[in-house]
Structure 1
Amino acid sequence: MRIGVFLLAAAFPGRDHGEVLTAAVDTAVAAERAGFDDVWIAEHHFMSYGVCPSATTLAGYVLGRTERIGVGTAVSVLSSRHPIALAEEAALLDRVSGGRFRLGVGRGGPWVDLEVFGTGLDRFENGFTESLDLLVAALTRPTVSADGAVFRFREVEMVPRPGGPLLPVVAATSASTARLAASRGLPLLLGMHVGDEEKAALVEDYARAATTSGRDPSGAVTTDGSGGARGVAGAVGIRGLADVAGVTVGDVGGAGKVGGGGHVAAGVAYVADSTGEAVAAMRESLPRWLAPGLAGYRPVDDRPYRPRDAAEYAELLCRLHPVGSPAHCADTMITTIRRTGVRHLILLVEGAGDPARTRENVARLGAEVLPVVREAFRLFPHNSR
């Protein structure tokens, strides 16, 4: 199992953007020191919810500031990125980090990013599958070309090539996306806005679709004898794929490209001496960030958008996730792993809105919570769904 940190570079009111980004990097360094397995960096545009517009860029800097910890994107938004450019960046980070980089991708939302970057609403609504297939092809084959509805270009050589298997995890909030990921043999990244039951349902949808497609229902990434994710070579719009050595990615260690070989689930974590104290702190701080942050989403389609009530959302996050005493946090994480079967958790630790308190939160989680969770699954390694 693996336990990581999830960084949004959340801009609480009154904080300078440079200070927010510096604090995010410092948190990643603190997470390595505290014994976390990896750090995952979010990407947002034009809003205070998160002030990192390029997860790969910040990941590169964090990789340079750390030595052991894995660093990933949660997520790089495919609807506003060219998949070949993203594959090049991912392979570059993989090479210069000695295999510590992980790639998480997602569809994103119908937000103003699509208008600003010129990719458009149709790409968001209809182009995700083609983008994902092209990304995987570029990460697994020495050459790639495209003749699809969205992308058309002649055969090019992929340079640099990844040093080993580098396949993305796919953010999923719907059964259809879970089934798509399953059909490609790619694990899921599950969000913090849903609880164990909803996560378990998506994992079950994935398992059924994976079984139908001849994939591993656990979400472990496998490749066929040609080295590519099975099914990619036959995807619409992709051609000119040469053979490379095949590999299987299972429950790998620190240098593994997908970490844990399976699904990843995000949550919020804040530890205090008592659960009441922790919940009270989050009730006070989270709405100050969430209210302006969630209001920053600006849709470009005709559907009405009403932001979540910030106070209600904060209550939900405290109820679903490890917010409490060390014992409560450990019990909550163990319960989530057992209920969902997801053995890779990433924890949003910035909820206090203060860099010093965030670093203290990371240190306490590392010292008082992570050892308890790891010991529980060391003694009972298969005690999950």
Structure 2
Amino acid sequence: MVKLSVLDLAPIPQGSNAGEALRSAADLAATAERLGFTRYWMAEHHSMPGIASAATAVALAYVGSRTATIRIGSGGVMLPNHAPLVIAEQFGTLESLFPGRIDLGLGRAPGTDQAAAYAMRRSMTTDENQFPNDVVELMRYFTGENGRVRAIPGEGLDIPIYILGSSLFGAQLAAALGLPYAFASHFAPQMMMQAIDVYRQRFQPSKQLAEPYVMLGFNAFVADSAEEAELLSTSIQQAFVALRTGQPVQLPPPQAGFADGLPMQARAILDSVLSCSAIGTPEMARDAVDAFVQRTGADELIVTSQIFDPAKRLRSYELLAGAVLGRAD
């Protein structure tokens, strides 16, 4: 049976605010814990009016205080935005507070536009190919191998590191370092199969991992009827179109037939973005998951459900867990 986990951006629905979104995120993590999901991750994004997880480590501390056993972590921290030492200290602090429960997923994208990236970094001259060196530096803070500079908390702690990506770059790096690889197929599926093949073919065993481990992003909109599930999925459709046109918004309420009024090119983009998805009843979701796992050989699916109504979002995860894991709240 494939493992299921949760990827959460702490979406801010229209008419709501960041505080309510973060409380809803903690409710989701607690529900995922009861339902048998393996882990709960939050993603770092900036300057996005519909996403409340910008201060990822801070948000995870709150989630950790509301849960007891589920693994929690980043999916991911965008490492070029930060000094590796700072991330080592932040996640070392989380691991010290919630021992044996912290994951650290790392990506190299800014998680925002160029203006916000500049506001964080104060310079855009940094070579993005520095990312592998930053990952290694970060890992050495946990092992205490960076000389006089020490991460306290952090040093000596066992914090699993995952490499995130949507291209071959991350696949190659994860393989070279012998780390688990998480591919962003929930929004950028175009290179998924090629990246998986590169990762598995080039994987080198490490102290953390003996064999390749593939985690794939997956959208799920599950409801008691296929019609309701389709309607729930229109919120993320609207949000994605707004983002692609440079006008990010808070998560809109569902809009029946939204895609029908779009130009053909926009509909094709949405079809591609949602190609790694389960949209429908629990039975339809189970069939979609089974087919996706059979096609990819994924070890784990990390599921995102950008649903406007927090209660219906919880219900979607409950129905998915019942269908795939045989668990119900």
* 2:213 pairs with one of 254, 258, 262: 262
Letter of the 1:5 partner, please give it: V
Letter of the 1:357 partner, please give it: K
Residue 125 of structure 2 is matched in structure 1 by 122
* 1:368 pairs with one of 308, 313, 323: 323
Q: Shift of the alpha carbon at 1:69?
A: 0.7
Is 1:336 the counterpart of 2:292? The answer is yes
1-structure distance, mates of 2:17, 2:222? 26
Residue 165 of structure 1 is matched in structure 2 by 158
* 1:131 pairs with one of 113, 131, 134: 134
Q: Shift of the alpha carbon at 1:250?
A: 5.9
Q: Shift of the alpha carbon at 1:49?
A: 4.2
1:33 partner SS:
helix
| Percent of paired sites with the same residue | 25
The answer (yes or no) to whether the contact 2:92–2:157 under 8 Å persists in 1 is no
- Summarize the Cα distance change of 1:102–1:10 in structure 2 as closer, same or farther, 3 Å threshold: same
Residue 187 of structure 2 is matched in structure 1 by 193
The answer (yes or no) to whether the contact 1:80–1:119 under 8 Å persists in 2 is no
2-structure distance, mates of 1:296, 1:186? 36
Q: Shift of the alpha carbon at 1:345?
A: 0.8
- Summarize the Cα distance change of 1:342–1:184 in structure 2 as closer, same or farther, 3 Å threshold: same
1-structure distance, mates of 2:210, 2:225? 38
- Summarize the Cα distance change of 1:57–1:163 in structure 2 as closer, same or farther, 3 Å threshold: same
Residue 355 of structure 1 is matched in structure 2 by 310
- Summarize the Cα distance change of 1:97–1:278 in structure 2 as closer, same or farther, 3 Å threshold: same
Residue 259 of structure 2 is matched in structure 1 by none
Letter of the 2:326 partner, please give it: P
Q: Shift of the alpha carbon at 1:102?
A: 0.5
2-structure distance, mates of 1:188, 1:198? 14
Task: Report runs of 4+ in structure 1 exceeding 6 Å deviation.
Answer: none
Counting matched residue pairs gives 306
2-structure distance, mates of 1:311, 1:353? 21
- Summarize the Cα distance change of 1:362–1:162 in structure 2 as closer, same or farther, 3 Å threshold: farther
Q: Shift of the alpha carbon at 1:310?
A: 6.8
Residue 241 of structure 1 is matched in structure 2 by none
1:160 partner SS:
coil
Residue 82 of structure 2 is matched in structure 1 by 81
Is 1:274 the counterpart of 2:230? The answer is no
1-structure distance, mates of 2:210, 2:141? 21
What TM-score, normalized by structure 1, do the two folds share?
A: 0.72
Q: Shift of the alpha carbon at 1:274?
A: 3.5
2-structure distance, mates of 1:22, 1:179? 37
Q: Shift of the alpha carbon at 1:280?
A: 3.3
Letter of the 2:49 partner, please give it: S
Q: Shift of the alpha carbon at 1:101?
A: 0.7
Q: Shift of the alpha carbon at 1:48?
A: 2.2
Letter of the 2:216 partner, please give it: A
Q: Shift of the alpha carbon at 1:119?
A: 4.8
- Summarize the Cα distance change of 1:161–1:338 in structure 2 as closer, same or farther, 3 Å threshold: same
Deviation per residue, 1:39-76 (Å, 9 max, x gap) = 11011111124221121111111111101111110110
Q: Shift of the alpha carbon at 1:2?
A: 2.0
2-structure distance, mates of 1:313, 1:278? 20
2-structure distance, mates of 1:342, 1:366? 17
RMSD: 2.5
Letter of the 2:290 partner, please give it: I
Is 1:56 the counterpart of 2:12? The answer is no
5+ residue gaps in structure 2?
249-264
Is 1:42 the counterpart of 2:43? The answer is yes
What TM-score, normalized by structure 2, do the two folds share?
A: 0.84
The answer (yes or no) to whether the contact 1:278–1:323 under 8 Å persists in 2 is yes
Residue 19 of structure 2 is matched in structure 1 by 18
2-structure distance, mates of 1:161, 1:83? 11
Q: Shift of the alpha carbon at 1:12?
A: 2.9
Residue 7 of structure 2 is matched in structure 1 by 6
- Summarize the Cα distance change of 1:164–1:335 in structure 2 as closer, same or farther, 3 Å threshold: farther
Q: Shift of the alpha carbon at 1:360?
A: 1.5
Residue 240 of structure 2 is matched in structure 1 by 290
Q: Shift of the alpha carbon at 1:127?
A: 2.1
Residue 112 of structure 1 is matched in structure 2 by 115
1:322 partner SS:
strand
5+ residue gaps in structure 1?
146-154, 217-221, 224-247, 252-260, 298-308, 373-385
Letter of the 1:180 partner, please give it: L
